[in-house]
A and B are shown apart, each in its own frame.
Chain A
Amino acid sequence: MSNQWKGKINKIDDYRWEIPCSYKPGMRVPGIIYAKEKMLPSIFADQALEQVANVAFLPGIVKYSIGMPDIHWGYGFPIGGVAATNVENGVISPGGIGFDINCGVRMIKTNIEAKEIKPIMEKLVTQLFSDIPTGIGSKGKLSLSERELKKVMEKGSKWAVERGFGTDTDLEFTEENGALEGADPDLVNQKAINRGLPQVGTLGSGNHFIEVQEVVEVFDEKVANKLGLYMGIVTVLIHSGSRGLGHQITTDILPVMKKAMNKYGISVPDQQLACAPLSSLEGKQYLSAMKAAANYAWANRQCLTNWVREVFEKVLKRSSSTLSMSLIYDVAHNIAKIEKHKVNGKEIMVCVHRKGATRAFPPGHPQIPALHRDFGQVIIIPGDMGTASYLLYATPRAMEETFGSTCHGAGRVWSRSEAKRRIKGVELRNRLEAEGIIVRAQGMATLAEETPEAYKDIELVVDSVVGAGLAKKIAKFRPLGVIKG
C-alpha cells in the first residue's frame, strides 16, 4: 500500500515501541505500541501510527496513547487504540469508542465433542443461518414497543434474561453483568430508536459473525478446566454490537461535539476526534447515551445466545443445559468506561477509551467474575474465519501499563476492496470447506472482505501481548463453521 507511515519510533524493548512527544508538536503524552518487531511492517503500512500520535493531543490524556498489536487505520482513533483521560480535566471523544458502540464478543462452551458434531456441521450451520437474523436490513424475531426498547437500553442483558432469553449465570459472566449503570434512554433520539427497534437480536453484517469452534490446544490446563474447557470440545463465538442504534447515536453526537470544541476552546488534529470535557453537559450526555447503546448491545448478544442455544437443541435434540451451554465470558471492545487507575503513583478516576481493544483486569479485581479472580479476567481474541481464535487471561501488568487493556482480534491489513479484488467469495467458501470449515454468508462480497488474508497473523498478535506480559494463553480454537451477515 502506498499509504506508508513515514514517522520514526523508538524501541523500548522487544515488545514496546515509543512515538515520542517530539514527533508532533501538540502531543501531550508519548504513544506506545505493543508489538513484536515482525509485526511492524504491517503496522507501518497505513496511517494507524499517525492516529496514535493524534490521540495524544486529547486534553487530559494520561500516561500514553496506546496502540495494541492488532492496530490498524481507523477514523480518528486507530482501531486497536486505548486512551485514558482524567475525569477532572479530560475529555471524552466518541471517536475513541466508534460508531458500533459496545461491539464485542462472547464465548459459549458446550460439552459436545467436536468429532460428534463434525458429521452434522453442515446441518448445524445451515440451521444457525436460517434461524438467526443476519445481514443488512434484516429484522429481528422480536416485535418491541418503544417503551420496551427503553427498558432494553436501561437493563441490557438483564432485560433479555427477564424475557426468558438466558440465565442469571449468563449475567455473571458478562462484562459489567451486561449493563452499565447511568444509561439514559431519554437522551437517545427518535432516529436512533427507529434504527434500533427492529434490530434487537440481529447479528448484522460486515465483520460480525457466529462461529462454531473446537478447542485444539490447551496452554493452561488448570485455568481451562476451571472454565469448563477441554481439548476437542465445541465452543461458540458471537461477535456483534449495538447495530443501527449505536451508529445513529454516534452520528448525531459528532456535530454536538464539534460545537463543544469551539465552546471549550479545544483543538484536535482530526475532526473525527471531536470531544467535550467529561465534566461538561455535552460530555455527560454522550456518556449516558453511549451507556444506553452499550446496554442495547449486551441485550442483543444475549438474545443471539438464546437463538444459538435453540438451534443446538433443535439439531442435537438435547436441551442446552444437558449440552452444558454456559457462557465463558462476554467482553466489549468498543467502549468508554470510568475506572480507577494508578497514574504516577496516585490512584485517579479516568475515562478509558477502548477502540478495538478489550478490557483486561487482573486477578482479584472486584469487577471480574468470582471464578476469574484466582487467575485474571478472561479475554477473547477472535481471529479470522480461516485460522484460529484464542482465549487469554489478564495479568497485573496490563493493569499497571495499559489501563487494564489488551488487543481485540487479528486486525485488518487489506482494505475491503483489496480483499474483494484478490479473492472471490465463492472460491473462498470452497477453500474453507475443503479445510473443513462450513461457511454461510448473506453475500459473497461480504465473505470475500473477511478472507483470512485480509487480517494480520493472529499468532503474532497473541504472541505480542503475551510477550509483553499483558496476558497469558489459556486455549486455542479452530473454526468448524461460520455464519456471516
Chain B
Amino acid sequence: MLKDILGGDVVSNLTKFPVVYIEHTSDIGIRASGKTLEEALENLGYGVVNLWLEDGGELIEEREIEINADTKEDLVVAFVNELIYLLEGERFLTLKCKVLKLTDNHLKVSLKGERFSPEKHKLAIQIKACTYHNLKVEQNEDDCLIEVILDV
C-alpha cells in the first residue's frame, strides 16, 4: 500500500478532505484537512497509521488519551507523539481515532486498535517523533488544515 500513497498523492477519502504526504529530504510530512479541526486531527491520525501499516489490523482494544498543552499547535504535536509513544512504550497500535473533546488547550481522543506484535504487524516505517518544523494549524470558516513534519 505504501508505495502507492507516498509522494503527494491523495490517500484517503474518508471524508471529502484528504490526507496528503509532503516531500522532505530526510523526513516525511503529512497534510491533513477536514471540515473541522476535529476531523483534520482524525485524518492526521489516519495519516500516521497509514505510514506505519502495510496491512491492516483489528479494532480489538480501545483507549482514551487526554492531552493538555498551551496551544492548539502544541496539542497537534503532542497528539502524534502520543500515538508514537503508545506504539513503542506500551505496544498499542492505534488504527482509528475519534476526537471526543477539543479546546484551545485540551484534547481528548478515543483510540481503537490492538496490541502491537512485530510478527503480526509488519510496520513499513519507524516514526521517531513529530517535529515543530514547518508546523501549520489553520482554522478557516469551512475547512481546517494541519501540516506536520515527522522525523523518520
Please state if B81 and A73 are interface contacts (CB–CB under 8 Å): no
The prevalent SS among residues of B at the interface is loop
A136, B23: Cβ atoms under 8 Å? no
Asked if A330 is an interface residue, CB under 8 A from chain B, the answer is no
Within the complex, what minimum Cβ distance (angstroms) separates B94 from chain A? 14
Any chain B CB within 8 A of the CB of A279? no
The answer to whether A420 touches B27 (Cβ under 8 A) is no
The answer to whether A194 and B26 have CB atoms under 8 Å apart is no
- Give Cα A421–Cα B88 distance, bound, in whole angstroms: 28
Check B89 against A99 for contact (C-beta < 8 Å).
no
Binds B, one of A142-150, A158-166, A250-258, A388-396: A250-258
CB <8 Å contact, B128 and A100: yes
Q: By the criterion CB–CB under 8 Å, are B24 and A73 in contact?
A: yes
Q: Name the contact of A251 in the complex, choosing from B27, B81, B149 (C-beta under 8 A).
A: B81
Q: Are B26 and A417 touching (Cβ within 8 A)?
A: no
Distance, CA A474 to CA B38, complexed state (A): 57
A205 and B126 form a contact (CB under 8 A) = yes
Known: A136-B123, A206-B152. A72 touches B131 (CB 8 A): no
30 A-B contact pairs sorted by A residue (CB < 8 Å): A74-B27, A99-B151, A100-B151, A135-B123, A136-B118, A136-B126, A137-B118, A138-B118, A205-B125, A244-B88, A247-B128, A247-B129, A248-B89, A251-B130, A255-B78, A258-B74, A258-B132, A270-B132, A412-B25, A414-B25, A415-B28, A416-B6, A416-B27, A417-B6, A417-B23, A445-B124, A445-B125, A446-B124, A446-B125, A485-B126
Nearest first, the 10 closest Cβ-Cβ pairs linking A and B are A75-B133, A417-B6, A194-B89, A271-B132, A75-B131, A272-B133, A73-B25, A137-B118, A136-B123, A247-B128
Residues in chain A within 8 A of chain B (CB atoms): 1, 3, 46, 48, 72-76, 79, 98-100, 135-138, 191, 194-195, 204-206, 244, 247-248, 250-251, 254-255, 258-259, 270-272, 274, 412-418, 420-421, 442-443, 445-446, 485
Besides A99-B129, A247-B84, A259-B70, 6 more A-B contacts (Cβ < 8 Å) are A3-B23, A137-B123, A412-B26, A414-B25, A417-B28, A445-B54
